[in-house]
Amino acid sequence: MIEFLNGRLAAKQATRLVIDVGGVAFGLDVSLRASEKAGNPGDTVQVLTYLHVREEALDLYGFVDAAERALFLKLIGVSGVGPRLALRILSAVSPQQLANMILHSDVRNLTALKGVGKKTAEVLIASLRASMSKLDLPTDGTASPGTEASAEGGIFRDAVMALVSLGVKDPAAQEAVRKASQKLGPDVTTSALISQALQEA
């Protein structure tokens, strides 16, 4: 298993990083939170990783810290939850918020997450409730700061790209971001807009 990558951040999108390690470029799918904390292209970064092996491909995922990776691994170990859905969940809510939903058997808020139906929510609770308190999860806080601008500008496009990368079709992604921007107003961060849009999608 590749435990981490240490190198230069060559490129960055809403939910994908490319890290140059000694001239070899590694592409990693990441959560919105991990992408925001990764720094800027050109920076030297260290990202924890998980290599997901499939018959037809090797997919590399990156994480902001050990707690996020541990929760990701817990999620993909649950029946019906694959890596893409796990990243979508971790992009929509903080690890602590997710842990609270599971610990309190909050089916209503779990099913509000895109891609999580009632059956999956119940399986998440049944499978992970006992182990949530053992994870070293960060405390709740405000969304990571982003560049504030009109949602009709670069933030709008970034949010749409993030939803598309998480599996939402482009027309639906644009509509979800539009609804989210109307609810949140013009002074919105990228993180907040994407999180709300995931609820609208």
pTM above 0.85, yes or no: no
Given a contact cutoff of 8 angstroms between Cβ atoms, the answer to whether 14 and 35 are in contact is yes
Q: Which domains does the chain have, with CATH numbers?
A: 4-63 (2.40.50.140), 66-132 (1.10.150.20), 154-200 (1.10.8)
**Cα angle for residues 45, 29, 10 (degrees, 5° grid):** 40
User: What's the token pair of residue 141?
Assistant: 């806080």
pLDDT tens, N- to C-terminus, the chain (201 residues): 789 999 999 999 889 999 999 999 999 999 988 998 888 999 999 999 999 998 888 999 999 888 899 999 999 999 889 999 999 999 888 888 888 889 889 999 999 888 899 999 999 999 998 887 666 554 343 333 333 333 344 677 777 778 777 878 777 887 888 888 888 877 778 788 888 888 887
Cα separation of 81 and 120, whole Å? 8
